[in-house]
Structure 1
Amino acid sequence: MASLLDVRRADERFHTRAGWLDSRHSFSFSRHWDPKNTHFGLLLVSNDDVVAPGTGFDTHPHRDMEIITWVLDGGLVHQDSEGHNGVIYPGLAQRMSAGTGILHSEKNDSWTLTGEPAHQNPVHFIQMWVIPDEAGIKPGYEQLDVNDELARGDWTTLASGMPQHAHQRAIGIRQKHAALHVARIRPDETLQLVTAPFVHLFVARGSAELEGAGALTTGDTVRITGAEGQRITAGPDGAEVLMWEMNAAVPTS
């Protein structure tokens, strides 16, 4: 069976605009609802958020979800009810397992010792949610700096629950059928996608040409059913690409 490639353009995403937030959603989220666009594979949320300085998401709850945050520009301050806190920056991946329940906030509001705002520019990040393979686990948190790996220009596994990635330096997630990879592809260079039942590709910045899909630009996504290792070539300015590899889908019953 040949691969099925479903290209979704950046300007086709749901759009939430508030005074402090500019957010684009690849799937149904919050007040945006389309019963035909609720998930792909095991990926339920892929939000492209820009948060203004001095603002952010106040403390709110999550439950039974694996949440991965990837910052493109700026710094995002994380605090949660399990006592974790810190600043997420480009090249530092974060995973929060909501499990039985967790409260957290995400803000662009850290301050220097002199009382001046440390973050005077917007923070731009991608937040992704996958359904765990076991409900009711203990909440957890993990982060990993992969800047050195990204400098190679090849795929880097950010987070995985797949047994085959157990030996790799990656964040663990409680989903044995999913893994997230990222690459900062150098201009005009080519990488190969994984072979998997479901692959979700997101062009976070730059441009690229995907075999079977054609030209892609910043914010474009491709949902591939039956991925067969298609090749992706970065444009003249390179590309930063996030790739979800998934061997199962959300149950429909």
Structure 2
Amino acid sequence: MITVRKSSDRGLAEHGWLKSRHTFSFADYYDPRFMGYSVLRVINEDRIEGGTGFDTHGHRDMEIISYVIEGELEHKDSMGTNTVIRPGEVQRMTAGTGVRHSEYNHMPDKETHFLQIWIMPEKQGMKPSYDQKSFSNDFGCSDLILVGSKDGRNGSITINQDVDMYAAKAQDDGEKTLKTYAHRHLWVQVIKGQVSVEGETLQAGDGAAIQDVDHLKLQWKKGSEFIVFDLP
């Protein structure tokens, strides 16, 4: 079974310096039909104007993943982390017992475009931690790349939840059948291009929830970029 979440149906927040599309209920956007999916709680597609960003604020008991599409995002947090996230890199921050951080686009004349993803952790009260890795070399193969997993296998970032997170930046047309299990939940989020999921065509910004399948059939066009979540 597949349920498509069209890009134009997402929530929209416009704050001048920030334009954000919300796949699930978030902040002032509320839709009881879209409160999350399995342990996936937030997918926000954010666009931050140059020279602006999120001032220091707090989180707790959430796995927060940042995936930069274009531009740069400077991250500072109360654990002492000070880094810049660029396209091809994936960052995970475990908020755990509590962490404060800021995120800024310090490029004066260029927008930063990124996905903010929240995943509910396997347990509460964990020690805050941080992980960031580049997958730029891997993305050149036009295939799905495992960028996040519970055990950090194949060089992926660790996620404190039974989740596999795949990403693709397709240099060519392609297709793949991903092995999964009928009791698992899958979510596909398209960033760029066109991706066919179980016969449904998705465009940029579209998402899809898939259940009751033991194989996920994907086809994509050259230039497509998308993420696949395999969830409990």
TM-score (norm 2): 0.95
Bigger-Rg structure (1/2): 1
CA contact 1:75–1:119 (8 Å) conserved in 2: no
How big is the alpha-carbon RMSD for the aligned residues of Structure 1 and Structure 2? 1.3
Q: 2:117: which partner in 1?
A: 128
- Partners of 2:26 and 2:82 lie apart in 1 by 26
Q: 1:195: which partner in 2?
A: 180
- Partners of 2:175 and 2:44 lie apart in 1 by 26
- Partners of 1:59 and 1:174 lie apart in 2 by 24
Q: 1:224: which partner in 2?
A: 210
- Partners of 1:143 and 1:20 lie apart in 2 by 26
CA contact 2:142–2:172 (8 Å) conserved in 1: no
CA contact 2:53–2:103 (8 Å) conserved in 1: yes
- Partners of 1:53 and 1:227 lie apart in 2 by 43
Q: 2:128: which partner in 1?
A: 139
Equivalent runs, 1:146-185 vs 2, <5 Å: 146-161=135-150, 163=151, 166-175=152-161, 177-185=162-170
Q: 1:101: which partner in 2?
A: 98
- Partners of 1:135 and 1:49 lie apart in 2 by 27
CA contact 1:195–1:226 (8 Å) conserved in 2: no
Deviation at 1:153, TM superposition (A): 1.2
2:27 matches 1:41 = no
Deviation at 1:97, TM superposition (A): 0.3
- Partners of 1:94 and 1:86 lie apart in 2 by 10
Deviation at 1:37, TM superposition (A): 1.1
- Partners of 2:214 and 2:199 lie apart in 1 by 11
Equivalent runs, 1:60-99 vs 2, <5 Å: 60-99=57-96
**C-alpha deviations, 1:43-64, integer Å up to 9, x for none?**
0000000000011111000000
- Partners of 2:203 and 2:227 lie apart in 1 by 13
- Partners of 1:21 and 1:56 lie apart in 2 by 8
- Partners of 2:134 and 2:188 lie apart in 1 by 21
Q: 1:14: which partner in 2?
A: 11
2:208 matches 1:211 = no
Q: Which runs of 4+ in 1 moved over 3 A?
A: none
SS at match of 1:143: strand
SS at match of 1:93: strand
SS at match of 2:137: helix
- Partners of 2:213 and 2:12 lie apart in 1 by 28
SS at match of 1:151: helix
Deviation at 1:216, TM superposition (A): 1.3
SS at match of 2:138: helix
**C-alpha deviations, 1:3-37, integer Å up to 9, x for none?**
x1001110010000111011000000001112221
Deviation at 1:119, TM superposition (A): 4.5
Task: Work out the number of aligned pairs and report it.
Answer: 230
CA contact 2:198–2:216 (8 Å) conserved in 1: yes
Q: Which blocks of at least 5 consecutive residues in structure 1 are unaligned?
A: 110-117, 248-253
SS at match of 2:79: coil
